[in-house]
Structure 1
Amino acid sequence: MAEPSKAILEGFITRGDVGKSIGERSGYDKPGKNDRNKPTDWAKHVDGVVIQAEWAILEPEDGVYDFQLIEDALNDIKDYNEANDVNLGAKLRVFAGQYSPDHILDNPDIGSTYVAYAEVGKGRDGNLPHFWKDAFLDKYKALHQALAEEFDAKPEDDEDHVRNEILREISITACMMKSADMHRAENGDNYVDRVDGLTNIGVLMSAGLTFEEDFSCQKKQINIVANAWENTWVSVARAHFNDYSNHAGIAPPEGEKLTEDWPLAKDKMRKIVNVCRKNDNCIIGNNSLEHKETKDNNAAFFDDTNAIYYVAQNYLKEGKKKAPVYFQTVVKVQSDEDDNETKLHRVIESAMEASDVRMIELPTLKALKQYKDGYLSGNKMQAVRNELKK
């Protein structure tokens, strides 16, 4: 398969100040809309937006699709581009997991399991489909085939297809829990507070999830989405195979840590990255770029015991010293209370030194505004943005 005909997303992308509760996660940052909670004229200082959509919104009934949210977003961006002579792009991230429609969660061939999180009252607790089942992946494949039929085609002269050029990247999100990452959840979310005494991972294991089933799902989801989209780039966040703390759900003695964590499996992470690299339209990414990964002269990027290594390295992308990657970051804009300098741009600069990163998904516009209205448009951030696009 040749590289996509659409341009790759480069520079800064905004993720949308939307809620994370079930039923509230769909949305996007609308360019041109005045919002006192976002930096002034923010759309002039970025290169695209992420369109977030819950699967339940896009397929309210089995096999019946409603893509109005995506159409509206692309048309809003198109209108803004034409009015301002710019070229903002878009990335689509469809949230599965607890955000899947009821006909998926209630499907007896798929099954679902209740999961709960430490963030009490955040509205994320709910039923999680058994994403490792072939029946689930078949439904996920059908969704992407329907999306691609509508939005993947090369842009034509007629108005209905001009929008397709704007949608340049699709997130791969089948094998997920809570977020769009490959990892299941942070350690703090796998806490034992259920009546059955199991963590989320423990209860999913009792429903049939195994390490090998998970590994298989990671590989299958990449090929499913990469094969569905011919002209559009696809991307996937690397695996966190070492994040299953206390996966058996047995509370350890106070002050001790169980040793039977889900294995780091470096060879498995490398194989998953290679599955992406073998598809010429696939970009590997990292959804948690933080200061700790760029300190100490970017040591994490060159340490094969660190998961971020498997994003930065080349592997099977022949003919290139590096292959394109993206990073998402929620790093705090300010280093600490005693530091008048900001660190967000420094973290991005460090990542650029250690990898061929082309695109950064920024912290929320609200977070940037709360720090300083002019930070995004300032010289330091805009210099980083321009360097990304080189």
Structure 2
Amino acid sequence: MYSSSFGNETALDNAHVNGALIRVRWNDIEPEEGVFDFLLIDQFLELIKERNLEWSLGIIAGESSPAWLFENENVGSFEITDYYNNVKRIPKMWDTQVNVKLNQLALALAAKYGNDEDLALVYAPLMTANGIEGHFNGVPEAVLINAGFTAERWVNSVKEVAENFAMAFPDKAIAVEVHDLINDSAIPNQIITDLWNDSSLNQRVGAAIWWISGKTTYQPNLLDALTAFPGDIYAQAIGRSDQTERFKDDDYSTMFAQAKTMGVRYIELWEYEFVNNTFPQEFADFNAYANVTYK
């Protein structure tokens, strides 16, 4: 069990917490091209280190990419209006220079943190609605296609960034967050399957789902593919436990049962759960399951 954030650092004091996710925006850590400022990561990391916990790293790209990337004449971008009516400008991930710059980011991060034994997982940043999850959050298919999106372009560009991060961090687990795209579960399934089967990556690139809920009605085909997926699965709860409608039968505990069925090895819960110690028996049970199954 990991905390998905810790604005309230008492989340890190819960006895069931093994670690925490540090997520920062790309434009905050590389405000000028090639000039990196890791102070924000280090400030979060200090709170984790003083508690002897592990950590994961997620760099948010998408609209949080640096201004200099948008100004690059070899990088196109397009505008989306997401499910929440937020208007965002997103770089085109399939433009070659995007992954060139993401690779340089990966190398800089690895030079700084790659030898940290407490770093357990690194997420591949994506050019999506929120910059890390693998979808565009309700954007019509036509908007994506008009911007130049194709299944082949998307698969190839996501695989490239995941491969680059895996090579930069040669002994760390890498996660790619997946959702259906253009109503097609075959696209994310191909990405994670190809990456898992790539012998050069030593089966270090797994699938992440930041929408586990116990329900099977949302993206059912992708859930089936993930259940059959032989690789590692990393999850984040779809919401807080007091948002009962987001979970099967209004029951937060159904999420843990689903995680075991799918073979999830790691779950990030919202810090609310650990601050309030909402389901201590379920936390302890999942940790015991994961420790026996995966360690």
TM-score for both structures, normalised by structure 2: 0.85
Please list, as runs of the form range in 1=range in 2, the aligned pairs for 1:186-225 lying within 5 A after superposition: 187=138, 190=139, 199=140, 201-225=141-165
The runs of at least 4 consecutive aligned structure 1 residues that moved more than 6 Å come to none
Measured against aligned partners, the alpha-carbon deviations of 1:67-102 in whole angstroms (never above 9, x if no partner) come to: 111222222211222xxxxxx111111010000010
Please list, as runs of the form range in 1=range in 2, the aligned pairs for 1:1-390 lying within 5 A after superposition: 12-16=1-5, 28-29=6-7, 31=9, 33=10, 42-81=13-52, 88-120=53-85, 124-153=86-115, 164-185=116-137, 187=138, 190=139, 199=140, 201-241=141-181, 244=182, 262=183, 264=184, 266=186, 268-277=187-196, 278=198, 279-280=201-202, 281-293=204-216, 306-314=221-229, 322-331=230-239, 333=241, 343-352=251-260, 354-362=261-269, 364-366=270-272, 373-376=276-279, 378-390=280-292
Report the Cα offset of residue 388 of structure 1: 2.1
Instruction: Check conservation: 1:140, 1:174, Cα contact below 8 A.
Output: no
Which protein is richer in strand relative to its size? 2
Query: Secondary structure at the residue paired with 2:222?
Result: coil
Report the Cα offset of residue 331 of structure 1: 4.4
Change (3 A) 1:336 1:127: closer
Instruction: Check conservation: 1:74, 1:166, Cα contact below 8 A.
Output: no
Query: Secondary structure at the residue paired with 1:135?
Result: helix
Measured against aligned partners, the alpha-carbon deviations of 1:106-154 in whole angstroms (never above 9, x if no partner) come to: 111002222223425xxx533211111111111011100111111112x
Query: Secondary structure at the residue paired with 2:253?
Result: helix
* Residues matched between the structures, number: 285
Residue 129 of structure 1 aligns with an amino acid whose one-letter code is P
Which protein is richer in helix relative to its size? 2
Report the Cα offset of residue 215 of structure 1: 2.2
Change (3 A) 1:265 1:93: closer
TM-score for both structures, normalised by structure 1: 0.66
Report the Cα offset of residue 30 of structure 1: 6.3
Identity %: 21
Report the Cα offset of residue 217 of structure 1: 1.5
RMSD: 2.7
CA distance in 2, matches of 1:335, 1:177: 22
CA distance in 2, matches of 1:289, 1:309: 13
CA distance in 2, matches of 1:139, 1:374: 41
CA distance in 2, matches of 1:350, 1:265: 19
User: Where do 5+ consecutive residues of structure 1 fail to align?
Assistant: 1-11, 17-27, 82-87, 154-163, 191-198, 245-261, 315-321
Instruction: Check conservation: 2:235, 2:267, Cα contact below 8 A.
Output: yes
Instruction: Check conservation: 1:144, 1:228, Cα contact below 8 A.
Output: yes
CA distance in 1, matches of 2:185, 2:232: 24
CA distance in 1, matches of 2:48, 2:274: 21
Change (3 A) 1:91 1:30: farther
